[in-house]
Amino acid sequence: VLFLSSSTVDMIWRSSQGFSKRAEDLVTLCMRYIRLSHTFFWAQTATSSNGLNDCEEYLKDANECKIPVDDEHIGPLLLSPYGLKALERVNQLSKEEKEGLMGSCLPPSQYAYILLVWVGVHLTEGLKNGTLRGGAGFEENLYRQLATLRACMFDIDDFRAGRMPLAYVQLVQVLVDSLIVISPFAL
């Protein structure tokens, strides 16, 4: 198995296909949004971190961050105004993007989905202004992949909840009732 580094893949792509600087910038921006969306999704998901509670404690001013900085609270810290400001400082979010997330009037648990919407908006603009080229199949495939990604993110929460199909519960109820009715005759 041959593994190519991303720089090698980029070099091969540029030499064989070629693409404009605008297209490269658009793809880089969308990749950054998708990485941040992934990061924000796991920050809000209750896993080994404390997850995210959409209460007002996490929406306070960044200068008055009262969230303890430890391994159990890294998710809420990242999605707090304090965390968004830190992401801005390390150039992972622009000031406009940070303000857009905070001004969305949605809880921090929805930031991952907002970023996916932004990816769709940028891709649509890129297709309309000619930065990205492709036919209807290309556009349809892009949107299908985004929808699949979003659906998978929702599925993860459903799988974590451990929901049981209703038919299984009904089948067990019928079996238990049958055994209870038959048990006097078995004795």
Q: What is the pLDDT of residues 99-134, one digit of tens each?
A: 999 999 888 888 999 999 999 999 999 989 988 887
Residue 91, pLDDT score: 87
In the predicted model, what is the mean pLDDT of residues 147-165? 80
- 40, 79 Cβ separation under 8 angstroms: yes
The residue written with tokens 């796991």 in the block is 42
Averaged confidence pLDDT in the chain: 76
In the chain, the N- to C-terminal Cα span, in Å, equals 65
CA triplet 83, 104, 128: central angle to 5 degrees? 110
- 44, 111 Cβ separation under 8 angstroms: yes
Q: Render 80-140 in DSSP notation, one character per residue.
A: SHHHHHHHHHTTSS-HHHHHHHHTT-S-GGGHHHHHHHHHHHHHHHHHHTTSS---HHHHH
- 74, 49 Cβ separation under 8 angstroms: yes
**Higher local confidence (pLDDT), 61 or 182:** 182
The pLDDT-based confidence of 47 (bands split at 50, 70, 90) is low
- 133, 22 Cβ separation under 8 angstroms: no
Global pTM value:
0.66
The residue written with tokens 């890294």 in the block is 74
